A and B are shown apart, each in its own frame.
Chain A
Amino acid sequence: MDYATLIQVLDSALRLATPLLLACLAGLFSERGGIFDIGLEGKMLMAGMASGAVAFLTGLVWLGVGAAIGASILFSMIHGLASITFRGNQLISGVALNFLASGMTVLIAQALFRQGGRTPPLTGNARFSPIDLPFAEAMADVPIIGPLYAEVLSGHSTLVYVALLAVPVTWWVLYRTRFGLRLRAVGENPESVDTAGISVVRLRYSALVITGILCGLAGAYMATALQAGFGREMTAGRGYIALAALIFAKWRPWYALGATFLFGFLQALALRPDVIERSFGMAIPVPALDALPYILTVIVLAGFVGKAIPPRAGGQPYVKER
């Protein structure tokens, strides 16, 4: 693979990693707070549909993003109601929401636009356009680093930079703030939080609101930046890949960046069979590449690359002991 091709693949890797990263951080907040969220996929779908529809109807992409966040938080709150307030099974609630989203998005899009469950193609202000980072022109000619900056890093939509910025912010919130301390505590041992006189329920709902916002951004990015409009099942399992990345990243923000970028890179490679054939001298079937993130995750879970210890209280509804 020559350098120019590598730059192309890296560029598309970043593009493809962005929704994974946003969803992965979304899952990180929820799971660190002790709520397993298998419903990332469903929230992204809802967000994608909402942003596609609202952006088309209003012609303003930011209103679309707002709608996406709203729809995603709504689903997050249903998950909260089921798993926090009513102490239901978190996996079942998540799976149910995924099915609900899968059907509801198509139904609503069909009812609104009658285009076979899609939203109409977005153009102009209804869609995110690439922005050039400062000095991208000037840097382009610098060897090695220049193309990395000008071609890979620069020239993406705003949400890509929001996602990248979300990584240090997440780290800071988690490890440097009161909220982060309490959030980590509630995912490890909710009793310790409860006996300290802090509401476990309120903390977990706040975590789910953040999850909703980040999933909303992920879905909005899918429909208004990566593609121009919502289509049936457009997330194509990205919610699950994000969950896999979360385990791969051992529930840590910086690792999440690495994991999602790796998975994004694999997706980018899958789009370029020609590159693979040239680099490896043989054709690797695309499904094999698609399966790689999951295979890598299984390897991590099996304990080959250090131990991935999930938050201890994850998945268990909190019931006061006495």
Chain B
Amino acid sequence: MTGAQDSGARQATAAPTSAPPAIELRGISKAFGSVQANKDISIRVMPGTIHGIIGENGAGKSTLMSILYGFYKADAGEILIDGKPTQIPDSQAAIRAGIGMVFQHFKLVQNFTVLENIILGVEDGPLLRPSLSKARKELKRLAEEYELHVDPDETIEELSVGHQQRVEILKALYRQADILILDEPTGVLTPAEADHLFRILDNLRQQGKTIILITHKLREIMEITDTVSVMRRGEMTATVKTSETSPEQLAELMVGRKVLLHVPKGPANPGETVLEIENLRVVDEDKVERLKGVDLTIRAGEILGIAGVSGNGQSELLEVLGGYARATGTIRINGQEIDLTGKHSDAQSRRHRGIAHVPEDRHHYGLILDFAAWENMVFGYHNEPEYQKNAMIMDNDGIVEKTAAAMEHFDVRPPIPTLPAKSFSGGNQQKIVLAREIERNPDLLLVGQPTRGVDIGAIEFIHKRIVELRDAGKAVLLVSVELDEIMSLSDRIAVMFDGQIMGERLPDETNERELGLLMAGIRDTKGAA
């Protein structure tokens, strides 16, 4: 409606060089206690462009956007919208200024319909009926204009994640937003959904909307943005034209040193079969079959990567192998069958069989956050003789010493064994878990989402360790939703969809498109490879 016309007119009449920036931040600073989250940040976002903001976890991206959306008040600095100084004390003011925000975790009411979510907060009057019918009409128009199709009467919990995200975008557009901020929008999407999102963003850009894309994925920055700003430790380290930079340069700007985006690895030398899975089935509490007859083998000295959109049975597979879910079927380790249903089917017995597990959700299954690093370093192995002083008492001093050595070895920072696990960054927490599991020298390492929430510098380290383990002749089962990670680490790739293996591919002989099709449940991938 009027919003679209306004921005269209602005694009038509004003040449890009003479138009004021859609958003200009001047000298924004914000401190939380002694932590300086944003330090004298200035940035100019031109109208009708997609501006990427990239940086590691804790670099201050989210804080900056929260200031722009009125969640925080900056300690210093000013905000200019379309060249005019603007105060943004709360979200309502941000909405009035034409800023819409799509959060990483959607702010939708799960049991409301799409329409109800759209009008929440911008109802036209005390009664709902007129607002609902107006929103229904407007939604139809927006759907056609931007390829944003969603059923207005569906409840949110019935929608796929990709569709829920569209609702968030529609919410912003319905509020006449000209500037759209998206915070890590592709983290939860399948490659196909991500592609669709980028088409939508491209559409919005062509209609004159200004988009700020916050992400840590270099590929997305390179693919869709016009300009990119890099943040590191609360400072804006660089703003460059995307066409004039490279992923390697951006990574270096983010981390502050040269980073290997792809860990070099030689060809695999597979040996004996370590893990054999036959016809593995899992039925969950709601009687839904989560694994529908999975067959897999992994040999020593080989990394098998499992690609797939989360929720297609990968977690169940890891849980069964790790010993904390029940299943039917056969699993053999080094040729010996393991008990899947009996009372000896637990994580402990799996560890005795040489299976180590880096769980997907390290906060719930990998660590006890309130416990010290040294305590976390022995969980699961705490009954091993080497950690006991005598029959009754554990050798705590010895454990602390060993932990200190392991922390050194795995470059955990800071290397202080007595610090609680929650005080470490995501990457360092993951290194603690990895150290615990790898130090036991397992035959088979299960790794779920090894780099989720992990900084790019730490990713490099973790990938190196996994490849080292493979080169030492161990078998590795890698589950990840990051296709990049699967492609660069795996020696073989199996794709899971709806509890089944859709197919196996070799990384050199496939591409993201083909894997994407398999991940969407399409077996016929001729022409994609």
Given A181-B128, A197-B95; A192-B109 close (CB under 8 Å)? yes
- The answer, among A177, A188, A192, A196, for a CB contact under 8 Å with B126, is A177
Q: Does B425 contact A (CB under 8 A)?
A: no
Given A189-B108, A189-B110, A191-B107; A176-B129 close (CB under 8 Å)? yes
Asked whether B110 lies within 8 Å of A196 as measured between CB atoms, the reply is no
Q: Does B123 contact A (CB under 8 A)?
A: yes
Q: How large is the interface on B (under 10, 10 to 19, 20 to 34, 35 or more residues)?
A: 20 to 34
Instruction: Report the nearest B residue to A179, measured CB to CB.
Output: B126
Interface set, chain B 46-65, CB cutoff 8 A to A: 62-63
Asked whether A196 lies within 8 Å of B91 as measured between CB atoms, the reply is yes
Interface set, chain B 68-118, CB cutoff 8 A to A: 71-72, 90-95, 101, 103, 107-112, 116-117
- A185 to B111, alpha carbons, bound, how many Å? 9
Contacts of A298 in B (CB 8 A): none
Q: Does A320 contact B (CB under 8 A)?
A: yes
Q: Does B35 contact A (CB under 8 A)?
A: no
Smallest CB–CB gap between B129 and chain A, Å? 7
Asked whether B112 lies within 8 Å of A188 as measured between CB atoms, the reply is yes
- A22 to B129, alpha carbons, bound, how many Å? 28
- A197 to B94, alpha carbons, bound, how many Å? 9
Contacts of B108 in A (CB 8 A): 189, 192
Interface set, chain A 294-320, CB cutoff 8 A to B: 312, 320
Contacts of B93 in A (CB 8 A): 197
Instruction: Report the nearest A residue to B62, measured CB to CB.
Output: A322
- A39 to B94, alpha carbons, bound, how many Å? 39
Identify the interface centre among A181, A184, A191, A198: most chain B CB within 10 Å of its CB. Answer: A181
Contacts of B94 in A (CB 8 A): 197
Contacts of A182 in B (CB 8 A): 120-121
Instruction: Report the nearest B residue to A189, measured CB to CB.
Output: B109
- The answer, among B62, B101, B126, for a CB contact under 8 Å with A178, is B126
Identify the interface centre among B66, B128, B129: most chain A CB within 10 Å of its CB. Answer: B128
Asked whether B109 lies within 8 Å of A196 as measured between CB atoms, the reply is no
- A181 to B125, alpha carbons, bound, how many Å? 12
Asked whether B101 lies within 8 Å of A195 as measured between CB atoms, the reply is yes
Instruction: Report the nearest B residue to A320, measured CB to CB.
Output: B71
Q: Does A74 contact B (CB under 8 A)?
A: no
Contacts of A322 in B (CB 8 A): 62-63, 66, 71-72
Given A189-B108, A197-B95; A181-B90 close (CB under 8 Å)? no
Asked whether A185 lies within 8 Å of B120 as measured between CB atoms, the reply is yes
Asked whether A195 lies within 8 Å of B103 as measured between CB atoms, the reply is yes
Instruction: Report the nearest B residue to A182, measured CB to CB.
Output: B120
Q: Does A194 contact B (CB under 8 A)?
A: yes
Q: Does A91 contact B (CB under 8 A)?
A: no
Asked whether A192 lies within 8 Å of B117 as measured between CB atoms, the reply is yes
Q: Does B1 contact A (CB under 8 A)?
A: no
Asked whether A312 lies within 8 Å of B110 as measured between CB atoms, the reply is yes
Smallest CB–CB gap between A88 and chain B, Å? 22
Given A196-B122, A197-B90; A178-B71 close (CB under 8 Å)? no
Contacts of A177 in B (CB 8 A): 126-128
Contacts of B128 in A (CB 8 A): 175-178, 180-181
Given A181-B116, A196-B122, A322-B62; A188-B91 close (CB under 8 Å)? no
Smallest CB–CB gap between B89 and chain A, Å? 11
- A189 to B92, alpha carbons, bound, how many Å? 18
Contacts of B122 in A (CB 8 A): 196
Smallest CB–CB gap between A101 and chain B, Å? 34
Smallest CB–CB gap between A262 and chain B, Å? 26
Instruction: Report the nearest A residue to B171, measured CB to CB.
Output: A196
Asked whether A197 lies within 8 Å of B107 as measured between CB atoms, the reply is no
Contacts of A195 in B (CB 8 A): 91, 101, 103, 107
Interface set, chain B 26-59, CB cutoff 8 A to A: none
- Specify the main secondary structure of chain A where it touches its partner: helix
Interface set, chain A 17-50, CB cutoff 8 A to B: none
Smallest CB–CB gap between B516 and chain A, Å? 31
| Binary B-proximity of A150-194 (CB < 8 A = 1, otherwise 0) | 000000000000000000000000011111111011001101111
Identify the interface centre among A192, A193, A198: most chain B CB within 10 Å of its CB. Answer: A192
- A181 to B117, alpha carbons, bound, how many Å? 9
Smallest CB–CB gap between B125 and chain A, Å? 7
- A194 to B111, alpha carbons, bound, how many Å? 17
Asked whether B91 lies within 8 Å of A194 as measured between CB atoms, the reply is yes
Identify the interface centre among A185, A194, A197: most chain B CB within 10 Å of its CB. Answer: A197
- A197 to B121, alpha carbons, bound, how many Å? 7
Contacts of A193 in B (CB 8 A): 120-121
Contacts of B107 in A (CB 8 A): 189, 191-192, 194-196
- A177 to B66, alpha carbons, bound, how many Å? 31
Instruction: Report the nearest A residue to B91, measured CB to CB.
Output: A197
Instruction: Report the nearest A residue to B117, measured CB to CB.
Output: A192
Asked whether B121 lies within 8 Å of A196 as measured between CB atoms, the reply is yes
Smallest CB–CB gap between B350 and chain A, Å? 33
Instruction: Report the nearest B residue to A197, measured CB to CB.
Output: B92
| Binary B-proximity of A192-217 (CB < 8 A = 1, otherwise 0) | 11111110000000000000000000
Smallest CB–CB gap between B201 and chain A, Å? 21
Smallest CB–CB gap between A137 and chain B, Å? 40
Contacts of B66 in A (CB 8 A): 322
Contacts of A198 in B (CB 8 A): 92, 121
Smallest CB–CB gap between B407 and chain A, Å? 31
| Binary A-proximity of B459-497 (CB < 8 A = 1, otherwise 0) | 000000000000000000000000000000000000000
Smallest CB–CB gap between A306 and chain B, Å? 15
- A192 to B131, alpha carbons, bound, how many Å? 18
Contacts of A185 in B (CB 8 A): 109, 112, 120
Smallest CB–CB gap between A53 and chain B, Å? 37
Contacts of B117 in A (CB 8 A): 192
Smallest CB–CB gap between B178 and chain A, Å? 17
Contacts of A175 in B (CB 8 A): 128
Instruction: Report the nearest A residue to B116, measured CB to CB.
Output: A181
Smallest CB–CB gap between B103 and chain A, Å? 7
- A247 to B122, alpha carbons, bound, how many Å? 31
Smallest CB–CB gap between B297 and chain A, Å? 41
Identify the interface centre among A179, A180, A198, A322: most chain B CB within 10 Å of its CB. Answer: A322
- A182 to B122, alpha carbons, bound, how many Å? 11
Contacts of B91 in A (CB 8 A): 194-197
- A133 to B93, alpha carbons, bound, how many Å? 53
- A196 to B122, alpha carbons, bound, how many Å? 8
Interface set, chain B 120-170, CB cutoff 8 A to A: 120-123, 125-129, 131
- A179 to B111, alpha carbons, bound, how many Å? 17
Instruction: Report the nearest A residue to B66, measured CB to CB.
Output: A322
Smallest CB–CB gap between A251 and chain B, Å? 11
Contacts of B126 in A (CB 8 A): 177-179
- A177 to B122, alpha carbons, bound, how many Å? 13
Smallest CB–CB gap between A123 and chain B, Å? 43
Contacts of A180 in B (CB 8 A): 128
Contacts of B125 in A (CB 8 A): 178
Q: List 9 A-B contacts (CB under 8 A).
A: A185-B112, A192-B109, A193-B120, A195-B101, A196-B122, A197-B93, A197-B94, A197-B95, A320-B71
* Chain B residues within 8 Å of A, Cβ to Cβ: 62-63, 66, 71-72, 90-95, 101, 103, 107-112, 116-117, 119-123, 125-129, 131
Closest 10 CB pairs of A and B: A196-B121, A197-B92, A197-B91, A192-B107, A178-B123, A195-B107, A188-B109, A185-B109, A189-B109, A191-B107
Given contacts A194-B107, A196-B107, A197-B91, 18 further A-B contacts (CB under 8 A): A175-B128, A176-B129, A177-B126, A177-B127, A178-B127, A178-B128, A180-B128, A181-B123, A184-B109, A185-B109, A185-B120, A192-B108, A192-B120, A193-B120, A196-B122, A198-B92, A312-B110, A322-B63
